[in-house]
Amino acid sequence: MIDKIGTEIMIGGIRFKSNVLMAPLAGYTCFPFRLMVERLGAGSAYTEMVSSDALKYNDRATSKLLYTDDRERIKCVQLLGSVPTVFERAAKSELLAKFDIIDINMGCPVPNVIKAGEGSALLDDIPRASKIIEACKRSGKVVSVKCRIGMNRQRIVIEEFARMCEASGADMITVHGRTRDMMYEGRPLYEYIKLAKQSVSIPVFANGGIYSKEDAEEMMEKTGADGIMLARYGFENPLIFSELTGTPSCDTKYSLLMEQLETAGECYDELYVLTYIKKLASYFMKKLPGTKQIKQRLYKCGNISELKNILGEIFDNKR
């Protein structure tokens, strides 16, 4: 089972160069980051979560989330919402015309999202979830679903939910192996991801609790999944994509940051670039000793030139 990591896979007629994907992360998986992880071996990376309802306003913030160009080989957008007709309108809109795959968020556990009947709340409304998938499929695009195994241990619905996804037309499912009330803590419940895989014939990807190559191997071995989807650790250490897929790379965290600075500068204004690179650098610094003071300087930095100097101090050749 382990040797399946990093292999090619077909999803809805689209060939992915590897079965190691980058999950959508609100505030993080912008276009430059998606380009980087694809170069490092990721089969694809999803946009940040986009409100299906917000698409009708076509505001500046949404435009930034949807930024892409031909350098991105497979373009995947993630939508959040609860109204099937709104999803259909969004999926068919000109704003999403350039995207190959629509992923439907049925796993976000955040309270405000749940109160709106979105994200994980759809695990408790299977008929509505089915209508949302069918609505997105009417766009003619490949559709994937990202979900959790249930709201809590007493309400685990993943077997029924996975079958519904396939019956409604989904081309792939990504199962986060935690319940909604577990949020992002605790060991993934591998047996329920395995149950989802055994319940359907479409590809099932496993997500949650992957922080190393060993975790990835264990996830594949214990679930029988067709691939894995990395989340926060993919942002903390993008080089994991190279390691998992065998993609050659001479990159360091410093070279990756410089690459990201250049790419982000082509796409966004300086304020956005500063904010994004500071977040990325902070993740990269997580296990570096003695960085507290320099991290404070990083946060206060007000221009690109100063930012480059600080990054050079942090990520020198010794680190």
Number of C-beta neighbours around residue 187 at 10 A: 10
- Kindly report, residue by residue over 7-28, the tens digit of the pLDDT: 999 999 999 999 999 999 988 9
Contacts (Cβ under 8 Å, ≥6 apart) of 240: 212, 213, 230, 233, 234
Q: What residues are labeled active site?
A: 108
For residue 25, what pLDDT is reported?
93
Tokens (6 digits) for 230: 């990395």
What pLDDT, in 10s, does the model give residues 46-92?
999 999 999 988 778 898 999 999 999 999 999 999 999 999 999 99
Q: Are 189 and 178 within 8 A, CB to CB?
A: yes
**Structure token pair of residue 183:** 């949020």
Tens of pLDDT, residues 211-256: 999 999 999 999 999 999 999 999 999 999 999 999 999 999 999 9
Q: For position 152, what pLDDT does the model report?
A: 96
Residue type, position 170, single letter = A
* pLDDT at position 179 over 50: yes
The pLDDT assigned to 317 comes to: 54
Q: What is the rounded CA–CA span in Å between residue 67 and residue 49?
A: 13
What pLDDT is stored for residue 319 in this prediction? 45
Residue with tokens 């609505």: 135
β strands within the chain, DSSP E: 9-11, 14-16, 20-22, 46-51, 76-80, 101-106, 142-148, 172-176, 204-207, 227-230
The CA-atom distances, in angstroms, between 135 and each of 84, 170, 264 are 6, 11, 34
Q: What is the mean pLDDT of the chain?
A: 94
* Whole-number pLDDT of residue 291: 79
State pLDDT tens for residues 240-298: 999 999 999 999 999 999 999 999 999 999 999 999 999 999 999 887 777 788 888 99
Q: What is the set of domains in the chain, with CATH numbers? A: 2-245 (3.20.20.70), 253-314 (no CATH)
Specify the 3-state DSSP secondary structure of 193: helix
Distance (Å, rounded) from C-alpha 285 to C-alpha 89? 42
The arithmetic mean of pLDDT across residues 173-193, rounded, is 97
Q: Which strand (E) or helix (H) includes residue 282?
A: helix 270-284
- Between the two ends of the chain, the Cα-to-Cα distance in Å is 34
Top-confidence residue, 314 or 31? 31
pLDDT tens track for 129-165: 999 999 999 999 999 999 999 999 999 999 999 999 9
